Every structure is written in structure tokens, then in C-alpha cells.
Chain A
Amino acid sequence: MNLFLLNILLAFGWMLLNGNYGSTDFTIGFVVGFFALLLTEPFRNKPNYGRKFWAALKLLAVFLYKLLTSSLQVVWDVITPTHLSHPAIINVPLEVESDFEIMLLANIVSLTPGSLSLDVSEDRKYLVIHAMFSQDEQSVIDDIKETLERRILEVTRD
């Protein structure tokens, strides 16, 4: 996270040195800064910035894809005359621990297919979700844990 801020700082430095303040200059500066940080990886304690950056990009791509498919699913249920939904309220056991990770997971769950996060249990062990299409509860739980939680952990953990 600190390295990401440093990367943005490097991009601003690039803009200052060039005297141009457009979005293309920012992008170029960001890419140059990214490779500069990659070059200094061997000197850091935990050389994982490249891998984490890649994991964050993958998380973003999966998130956008899921947001699109979930919207299409909901729209389809809205415009067809029959109600297809089969709702259930499910407790998903959590592996993530910190506030930031739980916040990220709850927000992403809310915006992905057929699930809406309702609550986190007092002891932070369970996320209570409302699933819209749940024929089988275990498969809903597995889907969230496999695709979303694992990817979040890849980004936030070392």
C-alpha cells in the first residue's frame, strides 16, 4: 500500500519534471515509476510489489466482470414476467480479519451476482448475506470464498 502511494508520488514527480500536467503524462510517469520500483525489489525486505500489483489488477478485472453479469441477471429478472429468484439468508464464515479486508469483501459481495451483505456477526467470524439465487447454500458460500475472498487475501496478505 505504501509502495502504491510512492508510485503515485513518482508519477507526480515525473509530471513536475516535464512541466506537463495531463492524464497521459500521469500514466507515463506511473508506468516509469512502476518499473523503477520493480528494479529496487531486491533491496527490500519483502519483494512482492509486482505480484501484489498484478493481484490487485486481477481483483479489479474480476470485480468489474462480476458487476456486469450481476446487473444483467437482476435486469433479466426484472423484465421477465416470472420471478426467478429463490432467496435465502446465509452465514458465510470469514477468513479475512482486519477492518479493511472485511470492508472490501462486504462491498464487493454487495456488488456481485445475487448476493448482498447484510451484517457482520459480533465476533467477526461470519458475514450474513442475502442470496438471490440460492438453490444450494454451500455452492454460494464456496463461490464467494473461492473467487472473492482468496483474491482479496492475495492482495492484502504477504
Chain B
Amino acid sequence: MMEWVVASCLIIGVLFSFFSALGILRMPDAYIRMHSSTKAGTIGVGLIMVAVALHFHDTSVISRAIGIIAFILMTAPVAAQLLGKSLLMNNYKMWRGHQQD
């Protein structure tokens, strides 16, 4: 039973990571590429870490997995925000849509 849960967490996590990488190649402009890398990447790594914690079921491994998830949740948006701010300040053109001041 536990093996199935671990396996499905791993597979879904890997799929999310793969699609986020694919999104970086495929999406039309830099802002949307950031959507892909931030959101799908976070949940991909998060699910893989949940699978690791469930599989080893050991205090030191679980605490490290929780630490990794917490730091990913804290740092991914910060990195995206800095990239986005620099794009905004350099008047990067979006591929369609419009911009408020």
C-alpha cells in the first residue's frame, strides 16, 4: 500500500518537473515561462520530497524533507519576483495582452 503511494507521488512529481522544463522551452514570452518554472517546478519538487519522506520514514530524513519544501516555497517566488521586476523595469514587451502603468 505504502509503496503505491510513494510510487505515485514520485511519478506525478517527476511529470510536473518535466512539464515545467518543457514549458520553459515552449511558452511564448519570458513572463509566462516564469509561471511555468515557479508553479509546476515547486509542486514537482514538493511531491518528490513527500515521496522521499514517506519511503524512508525516519526522523532525520523527514525533517530534512520538510526543510527542503519550506525553502523551495520561500525562495522560488523571490527569484521569480526579482526576474519579473527586472523585466518590468526594462520595458520587456509581452507577446500579447496589455499593460497598466
Taking A75-B16, A77-B23 as known contacts, 18 extra A-B pairs with beta carbons closer than 8 A to each other, sorted by chain A number, are A21-B59, A67-B43, A71-B39, A74-B19, A75-B19, A75-B20, A77-B27, A78-B40, A83-B28, A110-B80, A110-B81, A114-B35, A116-B81, A117-B84, A119-B85, A119-B88, A130-B34, A132-B32
Contact string against B for A residues 57-76, beta-carbon threshold 8 Å, 1 for contact and 0 otherwise: 00000000001101100110
Within 8 Å CB of B38, what residues of A?
Answer: 110-111, 116
Q: What number of A-B contacts does a CB cutoff of 8 Å give?
A: 112
Within 8 Å CB of A44, what residues of B?
Answer: none
Q: A23-B59, A107-B73, A130-B31 are in contact. Are A118 and B39 (CB under 8 A)?
A: no
Q: Determine the distance from Cα of A130 to Cα of B39 in the docked complex, in whole angstroms.
A: 14
Considering the complex, give the chain A residue whose CB is closest to the CB of B81.
A117
A78 and B36 contact, CB distance less than 8 A: yes
Within 8 Å CB of A23, what residues of B?
Answer: 59, 62
Within 8 Å CB of A89, what residues of B?
Answer: 88, 94, 98-100
B40 and A110 contact, CB distance less than 8 A: no
Q: Determine the distance from Cα of A8 to Cα of B75 in the docked complex, in whole angstroms.
A: 24
- What's the tally of chain B residues with a CB closer than 8 Å to chain A? 40
A111 and B100 contact, CB distance less than 8 A: no
B19 and A88 contact, CB distance less than 8 A: no
Contact string against A for B residues 71-101, beta-carbon threshold 8 Å, 1 for contact and 0 otherwise: 0011011101100110110000011111111
Within 8 Å CB of B16, what residues of A?
Answer: 71, 75
- Determine if A55 is an interface residue (Cβ-Cβ < 8 Å): no
A132 and B35 contact, CB distance less than 8 A: yes
- Determine if A86 is an interface residue (Cβ-Cβ < 8 Å): yes
A116 and B84 contact, CB distance less than 8 A: yes
Q: Determine the distance from Cα of A78 to Cα of B19 in the docked complex, in whole angstroms.
A: 7
Q: A85-B32, A110-B38, A132-B35 are in contact. Are A79 and B22 (CB under 8 A)?
A: yes
